[in-house]
Homo-oligomer: A and B are copies of this chain.
Amino acid sequence: MTAQPITDPALRSTLLDRVAFNADGLITAVAQDHATGEVLMLAWMNRAALDETLATGRVCYFSRSRKSLWRKGERSGQVQTLVDARLDCDGDAVLLLVEQKGVACHTGRRTCFYTALRPEGAVELMPPEIAPDVLYGA
């Protein structure tokens, strides 16, 4: 079950006009595993990134550090296939239901949210499944 790509540029443009990009032209994007419900990561999208994601069904973010489109998994192979994109009530955040290949986190963990803040301190909930140098090359 993956999203049907939205092939009509005019429809994508109409949908993108509903999005309230911030002063930097960005919205927050939350990726969630469509099957397990696990929240995988949080990143950012500009209009071009969300347009590409809707057009291709492959998740593309905007890297604030590199200031360029970031096709998730282009180096690591850990791509995200879109299942559904859902805008929030004020249009400045998008929830991406995805099919995650492998792991979402650059540390090699399934999710980036692996550090729990608890009365016993900061608890690491899971070890890496893959070494980062395997993901990205040594």
Q: Does A74 contact B (CB under 8 A)?
A: no
Q: Does A41 contact B (CB under 8 A)?
A: yes
- In the bound complex, residues from chain B placing their C-beta under 8 Å from that of A41 are 88
Residue contact B39 to A38, C-beta cutoff 8 Å: no
Whole-angstrom distance from the CB of A104 to the nearest CB of chain B? 10
Instruction: Please count how many residues in chain A sit with their CB below 8 Å of the partner chain's CB atoms.
Output: 45
Given known contacts A87-B117, A89-B105, A42 and B15 CB-to-CB distance under 8 angstroms: no
Tell me the residues in window 69-98 of chain A with beta carbons closer than 8 Å to chain B beta carbons: 84-90, 93-95
Q: Which of A3, A30, A87, A117 has the most B CB atoms < 10 Å from its CB?
A: A117
Please give the residue numbers on chain A whose beta carbons come within 8 Å of chain B beta carbons, in ascending order.
Answer: 3-8, 11, 14-15, 18, 28, 30, 32, 36-39, 41-42, 54, 84-90, 93-95, 105-107, 109, 112-119, 121-122, 125
